Amino acid sequence: MTADTHSPVRISPLAGWDPRLPEGLSARELPFLTQLTLRVTPGSAAAAAVEEYLGYALPGACRAHLDAEIKALWLGPDEWLLVAPAGRADELTAGLRSAFGEEFATVTDTSAQRTVLALSGPLLPEILAQGCALDLAPGRADAGACHTTLLAQAGVTLVVREAGPRAVWLLVRSSFAGYVGAWLADACTEYAGAP
């Protein structure tokens, strides 16, 4: 008997997802991004150490810091989601824990919990409005806005990457990714002939 030396194959929650979308909207999955949940008290020595490690201040309520390789999304009064390229979880977890040392803070790898949908295009506000209660009318959603909300009754974190909104990330739990993908394709059907 020989040992199995093959690495496990990772399959993204939306593997093979290729919806028919109108020209005014593009969508793609960004699978396997590193996602770390950080819990730290704002203004504490631990928060200062984390900010020094990251090279920027943690964003305030309903905001995201997007201008770095490691993005920080505000999730609650003492909670952030750090998003980085795939394969960085161990390195970043160790670096953050070393930074805050004995100060009270926690960092947990939650990369497998969610996947990310990157959406963009001029139809984006209209399509999202069909299933989201946030006011995403043109000019109302500025870059860096970050909200945990419902989209078609599925919990998502919506991050505005370009004002308008012209580009967003939807962070959705892996178990709901297929549902959100199907809802998005269905929400686009009336725009099939749109320019």
User: What are the tens digits of pLDDT across the range 162-173?
Assistant: 998 999 999 999
CA-atom Rg of the chain in angstroms: 18
CB proximity list for 75: less than 8 A, separation 6 or greater? 37, 81, 148, 157
Query: Is position 12 within any domain?
Result: no
Are 132 and 96 contained in the same domain? no
What is the number of structural domains in the chain? Answer: 2
Inter-residue contact 129 to 184 (CB < 8 Å): no
Query: Is position 158 within any domain?
Result: yes
Instruction: Classify residue 130 by burial, with Cβ atoms within 10 Å: 0-12, 13-18, 19+.
Output: middle
Are 46 and 98 contained in the same domain? yes
Query: Is position 7 within any domain?
Result: no
User: What are the tens digits of pLDDT across the range 20-79?
Assistant: 899 999 999 999 999 999 999 999 999 999 999 999 999 999 999 999 999 999 999 999
Can you give the pTM of this predicted structure? 0.92
User: What are the tens digits of pLDDT across the range 122-159?
Assistant: 999 999 999 999 998 877 889 999 999 999 999 999 99
Inter-residue contact 108 to 97 (CB < 8 Å): no
Beta strands 105-109 and 34-40, pairing class:
antiparallel
Query: Is position 86 within any domain?
Result: yes
Inter-residue contact 46 to 65 (CB < 8 Å): no
Stated length of the chain:
195
Instruction: Classify residue 44 by burial, with Cβ atoms within 10 Å: 0-12, 13-18, 19+.
Output: middle
Domain extent at residue 128 = 26-31+113-191
**How far is residue 195's CA from residue 192's CA, in Å, rounded to a whole number?**
9
Picking from 112, 139, 174, the residue at the C-terminal end of a domain is 112
**How far is residue 141's CA from residue 37's CA, in Å, rounded to a whole number?**
25
